[in-house]
Amino acid sequence: MGFMDKVKDAAGKAADQAKHATAVGKEKLEDTRLQRKISELCQEIGALVVAQRRDEAPDDAAAQIDAKVAEIAEIEKQQEANNADGGEAAAG
């Protein structure tokens, strides 16, 4: 293998590593965004529960809580799917 072939091979490997690092970074950003959304929903649920206990909640508070819990479940499914896809990408 000539010198230029070695340089091309090294450059190709470096490019592949950069692509992988970018993909991992994007996955982490998405996971952080989803986790932040879950935290926001939990805070909203907590506020509704406190309002219920104080008899200050809107009439549809229970429905709002149920909807937020369902949204959290959907986000968690999305996180699981992302993690499963990411594990396959990292192995490949």
- Convert the pLDDT of each residue in 25-50 to its tens digit: 888 899 999 999 999 999 999 999 99
Q: Is residue 32 part of a domain?
A: yes
Question: Which regions in the chain score pLDDT beneath 70?
Answer: 1, 86-92
Which candidate, 73, 85, 60, 87, places its Cα nearest to that of 34? Answer: 73
Q: Is residue 13 part of a domain?
A: no
- Report if residue 7 sits inside a domain: no
Does any domain span residue 74? yes
Residue 5 lies in a domain: no
Is position 56 within any domain? Answer: yes
Alpha helices in 1-92 (DSSP H): 3-53, 61-91
Residue 12 lies in a domain: no
Give the structural domain span for 57: 19-91
Res 86: pLDDT? 64
Q: Provide the domain count of the chain.
A: 1
Q: Model's pTM, two decimal places?
A: 0.71
Q: Is 82 a member of any domain?
A: yes
